[in-house]
Amino acid sequence: MVFSSVSSYIGTMTTRLYTHPIYLEHLTPAGHPERPDRLRAIERILDEEGFEDLDRKEAPEGDEETITYAHPGGFVEGIKARIPEEGIARIDSDTTVSPKSWQATLTAIGAANAAVDDVFAGTVDNVFVASRPPGHHAEKVTAMGFCLFNHAAIAARHAQRKHGAERVAIVDWDVHHGNGTQDIFWDDPSVMYCSTHQMPLFPGTGAKTETGTGNIVNAPLTAGADGDVFRDAFLSRVLPALDDFRPDLVIISAGFDAHHRDPLAEINLVEEDFDWATAQLMERAHRWAGGRLVSILEGGYDLHGLAFSVGAHVRRLMKG
């Protein structure tokens, strides 16, 4: 399959931001780390000087049918039935839903799929989706880890179904392993999943020996690892795998909870590490995928660390 290049990778990039006020209405219990203030912190940093050229769009509501690209219809209906008319309902001990959660997650899926459409159409160079709830822990038939549906997985399938992408790479630098994405693509060689994450840590998956059909590349990090260790994992495992795979699209599961301030883990990254990793993946996207890159927010629970890391990430997307 031959696709047109969307950028010459020289000078300022055209970066689109998708977000929506509905994401603030996915409510979680008091004290829960995955809270609406996460997006408020991101909104504030992206309103600062230097982000004037960010192409801001309101996220569209997604097509419910596209959820079944990654999850069986019965599971989808089961989650929909759990949405309460008022208050907060628990899916499990960590994962909750509130009256607007269905619309929020459907709009997160809509944004991810629209981002894929944008980069294949060449209307922008890359896209950052600031949405919640996150998605990478959602397995084929299990909602968990704050996640209802797997937005990155759905977007990858959307790229294949609508745009004819033959190979999609999902790179996940969230500090928690994306067990859901690994589960969905375990036996599918058309999608590569690469992950750096702390191990041992929730959800307990992500060993180097978990390789699927050769399309799963895990690079676990031990507690206390810093940016040098993280960068070495990219250079030794993730980037060579991408070069071998030659994807038509790169999707980032962009969690920022490997930041040293984050309360849920013990990896010591700083903003410059996310900037560096973004640049590396942009380079691979330009080498193999005509520049097509979509980044989707996952974790990140210290508001300062999250905001400044997103700022560094988006600034790099805009600069190239």
Q: Tens digit of pLDDT for each residue in 41-94?
A: 999 999 999 999 999 999 999 999 999 999 999 999 999 999 999 999 999 999
**Enclosing domain of residue 72:** 15-319
Q: Tens digit of pLDDT for each residue in 150-191?
A: 999 999 999 999 999 999 999 999 999 999 999 999 999 999
Mean pLDDT, rounded, for 218-231: 98
Q: How far is CA 54 from CA 21, 127, 141, 307, in A?
A: 18, 10, 36, 16
CB 291 within 8 A of CB 285: yes
The span from the CA of 220 to the CA of 223, in Å, is 10
Tokens of 212: 């699927």
Predicted TM-score (pTM) of the model is: 0.96
> Residues, the chain, total?
320
Residues with Cβ within 8 Å of residue 307, at least 6 apart in sequence:
41, 42, 44, 45
H/E segment holding residue 273: helix 271-288
Q: Is residue 7 part of a domain?
A: no
CB 278 within 8 A of CB 13: no
What is the amino acid identity at position 229? V
CATH assignment at residue 88: 3.40.800.20
Model pLDDT, residue 13: 80
Categorise residue 247: left if φ over 0, alpha if ψ from -120 to 50, beta otherwise: beta
Q: Is residue 6 part of a domain?
A: no
Q: Is the pLDDT of residue 147 over 50?
A: yes
Model pLDDT, residue 1: 52
Query: Can you spell out the DSSP letters for 174-231?
Result: SSS--HHHHHHHTT-TTEEEEEEEESS-TT----TT--TTTTEEEEEE-TT-BHHHHH
Angle at 87 between CA 82 and CA 92, to 5 degrees: 45
Q: Which residues are catalytic?
A: 137
Model pLDDT, residue 229: 98
Q: Is residue 1 part of a domain?
A: no
Dihedral angle sign, alpha carbons of residues 234, 190, 62, 35: negative
Residues with Cβ within 8 Å of residue 14, at least 6 apart in sequence:
7, 55, 124, 125
Measured in degrees and rounded to the nearest 5, phi and psi for residue 253 equal -85, 95
Number of domains in the chain: 1
Q: Is residue 9 part of a domain?
A: no
CB 250 within 8 A of CB 285: yes
Measured in degrees and rounded to the nearest 5, phi and psi for residue 111 equal -65, -45
The span from the CA of 277 to the CA of 97, in Å, is 33
Q: Is residue 4 part of a domain?
A: no
Measured in degrees and rounded to the nearest 5, phi and psi for residue 202 equal -50, 140
Q: Tens digit of pLDDT for each residue in 99-130?
A: 999 999 999 999 999 999 999 999 999 999 99
Please name the residue that has the structure tokens 């690994």: 182
Q: Is residue 302 part of a domain?
A: yes
Q: Is residue 3 part of a domain?
A: no
Mean pLDDT, rounded, for 294-308: 98
Please name the residue that has the structure tokens 């004290």: 31
Q: Is residue 5 part of a domain?
A: no
Q: Partners of 195 in the beta sheet?
A: 172, 218
Q: Tens digit of pLDDT for each residue in 31-44?
A: 999 999 999 999 99
CB 256 within 8 A of CB 196: no
